[in-house]
Amino acid sequence: MKNHYDIVVPAGQTKERLDLYLVHHVENATRTKVQEAIGNGEVLVNGIQAKPSYKINPLDVISVHLAKPDPPTVVAEAITLSIVYEDDYLLVIDKPAGMVTHPAYKNYSGTLVNALMHHTAFLSQPHPMRPGIVHRLDKDTSGLLVVAKDETTHQKLSRQFAEKTSEREYNAIAWGVFREKEGVIDAPLGRSKRDRKKVAVIDDGKHAVTEYEVLEQFEYCAFIRLKLRTGRTHQIRVHLAHIHHPVFGDPTYGGREIVAGGVDGKKKAEVKNLLELIHRQALHARTLGFVHPVTKKFVKFAAPLPEDFSSVLLWLRTKRGA
């Protein structure tokens, strides 16, 4: 059996060997597998067989057939967990920034799942690669996740997330001065047609709604609280970028660029120094609430802002009071 991939090279892509490009853009691809597929005529560029050395061009359409790899195995790893709550049915974890939630392409170790498997033998099994995982956070988003230890607990928690009866609040530092203290962003999301690794606001995307409230407004950034009415991939990050207030520090959606008006001269140097305090998006899943599947009581948990996020916020507060 083979997997089939259709890839459109992004408009801004620089020239690169075809085989090397595919190794970095096709799941589980190796250079040997790619070159073998090219040699077998199973890689077409714009409908024509190409050599491994072919230099790709922007907007090239690449069709690839690759043999399916052996399924990877997930192993337990002795990784420290920040456990906010645990009982016989579930755990609430404060996930640090930089940790992937579950194993996937190019991240088969060092994940939250690897750590959970070392911590407990009791995890629900919704998928071989995602034991216990009810919902996810992006790798560089910190904060709270609930993990299920059995199938019944998993199903009941999943239903709450699906029906939006669970409560989740996020904190973020976003670029710019907000005209309104609070608002709702209602914009459909889907995979970007220019870069499949990104999410974008697109007309035929999935319904997505984010509420925000400005808690503190600074000179060129704001500390905000957010609630999700829907739970789409990268939702907060893309929605804030869409309204020209990207999450501060976000390398994917414009948060490491100076996007606020009036930031020039000495201020630019100031902002560059501030960006050195945080090397990821300033986004944190601060609170999580749900009805416990067994006790039937509503429980709510909170996780303090991590050090890198807090250091940026402290700097902004100090500067405002100077």
Confidence of residue 108 (pLDDT cuts 50, 70, 90): confident
Confidence at residue 66, expressed as pLDDT on a 0 to 100 scale: 83
Residue range 59-65: average pLDDT? 90
SS3 content of the chain, % helix, strand, coil (to 5): 20, 30, 50
* DSSP class per residue in 28-60: T--HHHHHHHHHTT-EEETTEE--TT-B--TT-
Confidence at residue 70, expressed as pLDDT on a 0 to 100 scale: 61
Last residue of a domain, one of 103, 132, 163: 163
Query: Per-residue pLDDT for 302 more than 60?
Result: yes
Confidence at residue 1, expressed as pLDDT on a 0 to 100 scale: 65
Residue 137 belongs to some domain of the structure? yes
Residue range 146-167: average pLDDT? 94
Nearest to 305 by CA among 178, 170, 147: 170
Distance of alpha carbon 71 from alpha carbon 78, whole angstroms: 23
Confidence of residue 105 (pLDDT cuts 50, 70, 90): low
Active-site residue set: 138
CATH number at residue 217: 3.30.2350.10
pLDDT tens per residue, range 137-147: 999 999 999 99
Greater model confidence, 257 or 94: 94
Are residue 146 and residue 224 in the same domain, yes or no? no
Residue 302 belongs to some domain of the structure? no
Contact 251, 196 (CB under 8 A): no
Confidence at residue 201, expressed as pLDDT on a 0 to 100 scale: 95
Q: Which amino acid is at 242?
A: H
Confidence of residue 172 (pLDDT cuts 50, 70, 90): very high
Mean of all residue pLDDT scores within the chain: 91
Which ranges in the chain belong to alpha helices (H)?
18-25, 31-39, 112-119, 151-162, 235-242, 266-275, 307-321
Are residue 88 and residue 189 in the same domain, yes or no? no
| Structural domain of 180 | 169-286+308-321
Last residue of a domain, one of 50, 67, 84: 67
Are residue 9 and residue 101 in the same domain, yes or no? no
Residue range 7-22: average pLDDT? 86
Are residue 253 and residue 110 in the same domain, yes or no? no
Residue range 231-258: average pLDDT? 95
Percentage of residues in the chain having pLDDT higher than 90: 68
Distance of alpha carbon 299 from alpha carbon 96, whole angstroms: 22
Residue 281 belongs to some domain of the structure? yes
